[in-house]
Amino acid sequence: MRHITPPLSVIENGFRILSRSAFLNDVVEVAPFAGATSMTMTEIEEAHATVLTEMRDRVENRMPPGRYVIYDPYADSEGWMLVGDDPLALYAETAQMLADLTA
């Protein structure tokens, strides 16, 4: 994949983009419960594993086909996620969503 610089808003908000294969098969960062003071480290790790399983199921079974996945690692399994073949388009749509939220 050629080097693509994502929009600053996408970087600042922590979104990640991976190949679909990497998202489904590799170690993937998810951290919606990071720093939760009401949970033990074991509970946090288990919760993150559950979120990742649900996110992977979503990509495999409920999202359109595509070579790339952009997602918010700090959201739960129903957080912002897009799948597609054009990383620039995924970045642009994510940047637009962020702009709409702050408009």
Query: Tens digits of per-residue pLDDT, 45-68?
Result: 999 999 999 999 999 999 999 999
Q: Is residue 94 part of a domain?
A: yes
- Average pLDDT (2-11) is 71
Q: Is residue 3 part of a domain?
A: no
Q: Is residue 1 part of a domain?
A: no
The first and second tokens of residue 23, run together, are: 């998202």
- Domain residue limits at 67: 8-102
Q: Is the pTM of this model over 0.75?
A: yes
What average pLDDT does the structure give for the chain?
Answer: 91
- 11: how many CB neighbours lie within 10 A of its CB? 12
Q: Is residue 66 part of a domain?
A: yes
Q: Is residue 61 part of a domain?
A: yes
pLDDT over threshold 80, residue 8: no
Q: Which of 19, 33, 29 is nearest to 76 (CA)?
A: 33
pLDDT over threshold 90, residue 86: yes
Per-residue pLDDT, 4: 67
pLDDT over threshold 90, residue 7: no
**CA-to-CA distance for 29 and 86, rounded, in angstroms?**
22
- 68: how many CB neighbours lie within 10 A of its CB? 21
What is the number of structural domains in the chain?
1
